[in-house]
């Protein structure tokens, strides 16, 4: 993957993680504890997939894009 494409994919992946996190913010206190746990699990799985299958690949190829290192 060319670096400029990796940068765009990274940026959009991080936006997706932010959007998914907002699901939990919106739902907290507005649904039953069981419903919230179901949402939390789904959001966690989705964020995990983005991290493992997209971002980690980018960071292996372009470690300088990983701002947590």
What integer best gives the mean pLDDT of the chain? 96
Cα separation, 63 vs 57, whole angstroms: 10
Give Cβ neighbours of residue 55 (< 8 Å, ≥ 6 apart).
Answer: 10, 13, 14
21-41 average pLDDT score: 96
Q: Whose CA is closest to 37, among 49, 28, 46, 26?
A: 28
Q: Is the pLDDT of residue 17 over 90?
A: yes
Cα separation, 48 vs 4, whole angstroms: 23
Q: What's residue 68's pLDDT?
A: 78
Q: Is the pLDDT of residue 23 over 80?
A: yes
Cα separation, 56 vs 52, whole angstroms: 5
8-35 average pLDDT score: 96
Q: Is the pLDDT of residue 49 over 90?
A: yes
């Amino acid at each position: 993957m060319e670096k400029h494409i990796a940068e765009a994919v990274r940026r959009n992946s991080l936006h997706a993680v932010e959007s998914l996190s907002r699901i939990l913010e919106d739902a907290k206190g507005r649904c039953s504890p069981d419903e919230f746990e179901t949402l939390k699990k789904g959001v966690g799985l989705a964020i995990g997939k983005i991290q493992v299958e997209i971002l980690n690949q980018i960071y292996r190829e372009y470690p300088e894009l990983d701002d947590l290192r």
